[in-house]
Amino acid sequence: MRLEMGNFHVKDIVFGDNTSYADGVLTVDKEELLSYVKEEEPGITTADLRVVKPGEMVRLCPVKEAIEMRCKVSGKSQGIFPGVTSPMGQAGHGRTHALKGCSLIVVGEHMGGFQDGVIDMGGKYQDQTIFGDMVNLVLVADTDENFERFEQQKKNKALRWGGMKLAEYIGQCVKEMEPEDVEVFDLPAVTDRTAEIDSLPGVVYVLQPQTQMEAMGYNTLIYGWDGNHMLPTFMHPNELLDGCMISGSFMPTSSKISTYEFGVNPVVKRLMAEHGKTINFLGVIMANLNVKMNEKDRCAKMIAQMAHNLGATGAIVAEEGYGNPDVDYTAALVELEKIGVKTVGISDEATGRDGGSQPLVSMNPMTDALVSTGNVSQVYDLEPMEVIGELEALARDGNSGGWEGCVKPDGSTTMENNGMFCCNHISGFSRKTCAEF
């Protein structure tokens, strides 16, 4: 399967009379785009577009989603999110064009929820997320979804779908252009590898996206299918890089993998780069996270069985979330280790504000190679700055990192890492480290 990603490296975003790209500058027609998103998603009642740049003293809250602006040029799918915003078609083939170094960020005008977050474009916490170092186009909007206005857990459907459609609409401006560079992802079928490659250690990437809500509309989507209804599935890595996954609207936001990150997953890209050199990258085992113990056990055993049948001798397991899903995460690592597959785990941890608690709900001596991307309980003291959206949503609407009274009258805020949008970057972007004292 061959995928070509044609890249256009955005250095600035400006408003203008037409949506276009030239010489590193993305020009967007504000009125055209707002008219489009309101027509496509009638549930959006008010909307505005803002441009924010690294170093500006601007805070975004409540952040719902981040998306890379792209368009599909050729292949077996008609759009960048097959099965969601376009008819079902296999991702991972042909050519896709992408606007790099920037993102479309979706922010609620007023109401937030448990799963929403904060991004600081400047100040002490700018580098907590990759988005703080990008130039971003921000869709800030409100909706008529009054049925969930006072719910702590929100589906955010109109805003999320509006963001996806807008990202693709903007991406169309480079469809007919020649990219500045092209990344090629060409991984043959497992049965079509050379003897030399077959002799290298076989490695799988096991992804455990957040799928624990039994009610529909909150979980990660794979080709539009709710991950709660899946069993572990073998997939080609190109499918991930070409838009088969949509981030959900459930779980504390610092542990979430945004739709942007699913499509540019740095661990997958590194495994692809190492294929044929140091490893034989067999592909992706798409798992899920469950609530009931028998479901957790079934999934873990199926992951191991699949890895064994593929001939894997090594696995990277990435868990989106913490707490209850730590059981799924540890179980998968243990089942793989039992059959001789060496594992590395990637997750964040919940060690308490003092860092002294057990980091994962479930631990096992066999899981002896774990990468932590951050402590969800770490406390941040945020200075006042201009807000796009409504900062009070952090305190008022059940955000996982905020609480009543956490927003001070002067606009300064005390919050937990839990509420910083995707900042633990379990996808592999995490910049955090640790020191021993």
DSSP summary character for residue 353: T
Query: Looking at residues 250-254, what average pLDDT do you find?
Result: 91
Query: Looking at residues 384-413, what average pLDDT do you find?
Result: 96
Residues 6+ apart with CB under 8 A from 248: 115, 209, 210, 211, 213, 218, 219, 220, 221, 227, 256
Rounded Cα–Cα distance for residues 37 and 14 (Å): 18
Query: Looking at residues 236-248, what average pLDDT do you find?
Result: 98
DSSP summary character for residue 401: T
Query: Looking at residues 173-200, what average pLDDT do you find?
Result: 98
333 pLDDT above the threshold of 70: yes
Query: Looking at residues 385-394, what average pLDDT do you find?
Result: 97
437 pLDDT above the threshold of 70: no
CA distances from 92 to 64, 72, 89, 167, 239 (A): 26, 10, 10, 18, 4
Token pair listed for 416: 């937990």
Strand residue runs (E) in 38-130: 44-52, 58-67, 70-74, 94-100, 102-108, 117-120
Token pair listed for 91: 């991702």
Confidence (pLDDT) at 430: 86
Confidence class for position 310, pLDDT limits 50, 70, 90: very high
Confidence (pLDDT) at 88: 97
Token pair listed for 336: 């793989």
Whole-prediction pTM = 0.97
Rounded Cα–Cα distance for residues 168 and 174 (Å): 11
Closest CA to 247 of 94, 86, 363, 105: 105
Confidence class for position 101, pLDDT limits 50, 70, 90: very high
